[in-house]
């Protein structure tokens, strides 16, 4: 479905980079996620698009079981190795597509996904599936790349992300997330936009971005409007970015 081939092509050969990524494995972010979710020791958790396995490992020490899914076999192998090194044996790693989950309704107490939704080719289908397998009263947690509200940022910053990573679909703004979530059987409790930085050229190198695409990215940045440039400061070694964190419960 959608961009699966592109995702596997881009992330398979670079899976180890993501297991050791300080962004994806940020201990402060992970501790905040655990605090927000406040997981029960008897909870069953689904980690969607586990990548390097950081979310699954962070939650595994507090819950009964974690099912960690991804569509890239190399990512699952790296995540499983990371869990083994951390001594976590209550994680089940499976090759699964979020758009068509092979799990029954109301199975999980928590469904979590970090740095993944911007790759989902059909975001509404993916979110419906995540809600479907979530128990009534269960919690949905999302942390992902985002952009500030506005037509220019929503278009131009996503163009930059696509130039850097050809499997990118969309980093949704808060207003877009609000629209997506209101269509689901959810009550939203927490939505926060965090300002962060991409460290360059490491951000480019992690995805093997070509010199031509790097130059085009800087051309786009240089031609942003003054108000947009104010929200997206950049230089040769950094680019301002945003992340959105969402906590909701199923009604």
Summarize pLDDT for 33-78 with one digit per residue, the tens: 999 999 999 999 999 999 999 999 999 999 999 999 999 889 899 9
Q: Tell me the C-alpha to C-alpha distance, in Å, between residue 47 and each of 15, 128, 148.
A: 17, 15, 26
Q: When comparing pLDDT for 241 and 16, which is higher? A: 241
Let me know if residue 132 belongs to a domain. yes
Q: What is the pTM of this model?
A: 0.93
pLDDT at 2 over 70: no
Structure confidence at residue 4 as a pLDDT band (50, 70, 90): confident
Query: How many other CB atoms sit within 10 Å of the CB of residue 147?
Result: 27
Average pLDDT score, the chain? 93
With respect to residue 151, please indicate whether it lies within any of the assigned structural domains.
Answer: no
Is residue 216 domain-resident?
A: no
Tell me the average pLDDT across 125-149: 98
Q: Is residue 174 part of a domain?
A: yes
Average pLDDT for residues 149-175, to the nearest whole number?
A: 97
Dump the DSSP string for 87-145.
Answer: T--SEEEEE--GGG--S-TT-EEEEEEES-GGG-SSHHHHHHHHHHTEEEEEEEEEEEE
State the Cα–Cα distance between residues 32 and 217, nearest whole angstrom: 32
CATH number at 79 reads 3.40.50.150
Cβ distance 172 to 145 under 8 Å?
Answer: no
What is the count of structural domains for the chain? 1
| 74-104 per-position pLDDT tens digit | 989 999 999 999 999 999 999 999 999 999 9
Kindly state whether residue 23 falls inside one of the protein's structural domains.
yes
Q: What is the mean pLDDT of residues 15-25?
A: 60
Domain assignment present for residue 204? The answer is: no
Please write the tens of the pLDDT for every residue from 164-184.
999 999 999 999 999 999 999
Q: What is the residue range of 15's domain? A: 4-146+167-193+243-250
Q: What is the mean pLDDT of residues 193-213?
A: 94
The widest CA-to-CA distance across the chain, in whole angstroms, is: 52
CA angle 31, 35, 40 (to 5 degrees): 115
Is it the case that residue 1 has pLDDT exceeding 60? no
For residue 139, tell me if it sits in a domain.
Answer: yes
Q: Is residue 160 a part of any domain in this protein?
A: no
């Amino acid at each position: 479905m959608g961009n699966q081939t592109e995702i596997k092509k881009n992330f398979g050969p670079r899976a180890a980079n993501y297991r050791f990524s300080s962004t994806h494995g940020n201990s402060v972010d992970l501790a905040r996620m655990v605090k927000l979710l406040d997981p029960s020791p008897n909870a069953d958790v689904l980690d969607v698009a586990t990548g390097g396995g950081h979310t699954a490992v962070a939650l595994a020490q507090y819950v009964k079981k974690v099912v960690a899914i991804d569509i890239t076999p190399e990512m699952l192998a790296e995540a499983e190795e990371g869990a083994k090194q951390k001594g976590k044996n209550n994680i089940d790693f499976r090759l699964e597509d979020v758009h068509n989950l092979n799990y029954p309704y109301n199975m999980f107490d928590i469904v979590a996904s970090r740095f993944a939704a911007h790759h989902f080719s059909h975001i509404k289908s993916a979110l419906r599936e995540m809600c479907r397998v979530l128990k009534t009263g269960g919690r949905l947690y999302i942390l992902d790349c985002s952009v500030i509200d506005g037509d220019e940022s929503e278009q131009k910053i996503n163009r930059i992300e696509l130039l850097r990573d050809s499997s990118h679909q969309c980093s949704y703004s808060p207003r877009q997330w609000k629209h997506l979530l209101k269509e689901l059987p959810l009550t939203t409790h927490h939505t926060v936009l965090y300002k962060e930085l991409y460290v360059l050229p490491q951000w480019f190198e992690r995805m093997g971005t070509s010199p031509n695409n790097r130059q085009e990215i800087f051309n786009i940045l240089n031609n942003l409007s003054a108000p947009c440039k104010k929200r997206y400061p950049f230089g040769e070694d950094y680019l301002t970015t945003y992340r959105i964190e969402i906590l909701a419960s199923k009604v």
